[in-house]
Amino acid sequence: MKTSIAKRILVAAAAGFISFSTVAQEKASSLDDLLKMVQQSKVAESKEHRQRENDFRRQKSNQQSLLKKAEDTRTAEEKRSAQLEKTYQEQEVAVDQKRQQLDERMGSLKELFGHMSSTAADLRANIGSSLVSAQYPNRAEFLDGLLAKMNSATQLPTIPEIERLWFEIQRETLESGKVVKFNATVIKPNGEQGEQEVVRVGNFNLVSNGKYLEMNKAYKMAELIRQPDGKFQGMAETLQASTTGFSAFGVDPTGPTGGSYLKAMINSPDIVERWHQGGIVGYIISAVGVFAMLLAIFRLIVLTGVSAKVSAQLRSSTPNTNNPLGRVLAVAEENKGVDGETLELKMEEAVLKERPAVESGLNLLKIIAMVAPLLGLLGTVTGMIITFQAITIFGAGDPKAMAGGISSALITTVLGLVVAIPTVLMHTVVNGRAKRVLHILEEQSAGIVAENAERK
């Protein structure tokens, strides 16, 4: 029993030290070997602990020396910082003295340089949007360098730079009144670039091969995606082909300020684009309007032919059944011997039979004239709902977008009125032709009844 307990203790002790010794990793063939392995592990651990204690003592002595070096370095840097601060203060006083000396020596030139700086800044702002820069794009670099030098406290402009500033002012003034040709790179709407001849009309427009150009911030020229009317493009081609004399040309008066008028004019949608802005409701109104016009024209042609036949029947004494009056007169011929009341009823019946054919399409035209404005109002309300939903989502930060949405919504109202007004006029004309025919029928039938009553 004791032997078994001893074995368990030795096994437990060996298991406790097995992870801390490489010797314990080997397999023991007996309990004696296991005991030796445990003893060797303890010896190895004690050596390792002593080695760690020695390392700690050495590092502690090193820390003291490192701390001493750090304190010495801090003291040296504090002395250096004090010396640098003293030097900075002395140099700051020297800089103030030099500035005062510079101001005294410049005298009235300081005011002159102030005016020059203001003039250069104004010229730099002007050439940023000047079309002259498309022909002379390097002026901005010179002015930027000149402004940087004049705003510096350590540099002054040279005489050649001052003279060039005066030259650039004069060139900008003179070139603004010239019509010149020069070769430059032009960007096509599809992104292609090519060297071609460009005509600059003062500071107003740039044209090339009949196309109007625009200049971007990098002084690159590109064709406008949308061009003015064809007549203006033709004028541009004529101007480019001419060498002397005068040529008619469409000038943008807002060219020196960026060409806002030309952009607004060419960006304004044409009639077809405005029609497409009406959407589905606009297409429906247009289809209804076309149908109404075709119906009105057809009925007008038919009633014109019927009216002509009725007029011919009035001049003839023999009834002809190819017209309403002839058919009414034929009924009167068939009922000559009847009494007055019967004849009157027969004549009214004949006129009533002819009325639907004569008045055919009139009610439909009237309905279209009434419904077209309502369809336009429906499209406008729908468009306004969509516009206000967009404002709710994206906000009202862009008045142009809001105005564009409202403008598109009102297109359907315009289409409704455009359809309703001609439809009302055509209905009036067609209705007048129909009433004329019916009036002749009623007049002739009443006359026949009266003559029959007089004979009896």
pLDDT band at 34 (very low <50, low <70, confident <90, very high): low
198: left (phi over 0), alpha (psi -120 to 50) or beta: beta
Residues 183 and 170 in one domain: no
Domain C-terminal end among 138, 155, 176: 176
User: pLDDT digit string (tens) for 167-221?
Assistant: 999 999 898 888 999 999 999 888 888 899 999 998 889 999 889 998 887 788 8
User: How far is C-alpha 272 from the chain's CA centre?
Assistant: 19
Is 3 a domain residue? no
Q: Do 210 and 350 share a domain, yes or no?
A: no
> Which CA distances in Å does 291 have to 72, 234, 253, 379?
103, 39, 45, 19
Task: Please tell me whether residues 148 and 295 are part of one structural domain.
Answer: no
- Strand ranges, E, within 209-316: 211-215, 221-223
Beta strands of 175-318 (E only): which ranges? 179-187, 193-201, 205-208, 211-215, 221-223
pLDDT of residue 20 exceeding 60, the answer is no
Residue 23 above 50 pLDDT? no
User: Would residue 93 count as lying in a domain?
Assistant: no
> Which residues have a Cβ under 8 Å from the Cβ of 213 and sit 6 or more positions away?
186, 198, 205, 206, 207, 221, 222, 223, 224
In angstroms, the CA 376 to CA 369 distance is: 12
Q: Give the pLDDT score at 432.
A: 93
| Winning range, highest mean pLDDT, from 59-73, 102-116, 136-150, 294-308 | 294-308
Q: Looking at the domain assignment, is residue 85 inside a domain?
A: no
In a domain? residue 42: no
The most confident of 18-22, 48-52, 84-88, by mean pLDDT: 84-88
> Which region among 15-19, 368-372, 439-443 has the lowest average model confidence (pLDDT)?
15-19
Q: Is the pLDDT of residue 296 over 50?
A: yes
Q: Which of 201, 236, 268 is the last residue of a domain?
A: 268
Give mean pLDDT, residues 443-451: 85
Last residue of a domain, one of 146, 176, 206: 176
Write down the pLDDT at residue 4.
Answer: 46
Q: Residues 145-150: what's their mean pLDDT?
A: 85
Query: Domain check: are 296 and 431 in the same one?
Result: yes
Work out how many domains the chain is built from and give that number.
Answer: 3
Of 231-235, 270-274, 307-311, 330-334, which gets the smallest average pLDDT?
270-274
Q: Which residue has the higher pLDDT, 105 or 351?
A: 351
Asked whether residue 298 carries a pLDDT value surpassing 70, the answer given is: yes
Answer yes or no: is 391 within a domain: yes
Average pLDDT over residues 231-244: 88
Q: What local confidence, expressed as pLDDT, does residue 10 receive?
A: 43
**Pair (185, 247) in one structural domain:** yes
Q: What is the mean pLDDT of the chain?
A: 82
Greater model confidence, 456 or 207 = 207
**Tokens at residue 21, please?**
């010794």
- Tokens for 261? 């008028």
Q: Does 101 or 324 have the greater pLDDT score?
A: 324
As a whole number of angstroms, the distance between CA 87 and CA 90 comes to 5
Please give the model's pTM, rounded to 2 decimal places: 0.55
Band of pLDDT at residue 22, cut at 50, 70 and 90: very low
For 319, the domain range is 277-455
Which pLDDT score, from 0 to 100, does residue 12 have? 44
Pair 182, 135: CB distance under 8 Å: yes
For residue 451, the cross-strand partners are none
**Which residues does 142 contact at the CB level (< 8 Å), separation at least 6?**
161, 164, 168
376 and 435 belong to one structural domain: yes
Which one has a higher pLDDT value, 13 or 226?
226
For the ranges 25-39, 85-99, 433-447, the one whose mean pLDDT is highest = 433-447
Note the pLDDT tens digit of each residue in 317-372: 788 888 888 888 888 888 877 777 888 888 888 889 989 998 999 999 999 999 99
Same domain, yes or no: 334 and 451? yes
Closest by CA position to 145, among listed 159, 155, 132, 137: 155
Point out the least confidently predicted range of 171-175, 229-233, 260-264, 375-379. Answer: 260-264
pLDDT at 100 over 80: no
Structure tokens at 443: 């007049």
208 and 245, same domain (yes or no): yes
297 vs 140 pLDDT, higher one: 297
Write down the pLDDT at residue 399.
66
Question: Do residues 301 and 449 both lie within one domain?
Answer: yes
Band of residue 44 on the pLDDT scale cut at 50, 70, 90: low
Main-chain dihedrals φ then ψ at residue 221, nearest 5 degrees = -100, 140
- Cα angle, residue 327 at apex, residues 322 and 328 outer, rounded to 5°: 145
Main-chain dihedrals φ then ψ at residue 254, nearest 5 degrees: -95, 15
pLDDT greater at residue 246 or residue 387: 246
Which whole number is the average pLDDT over 384-412?
75
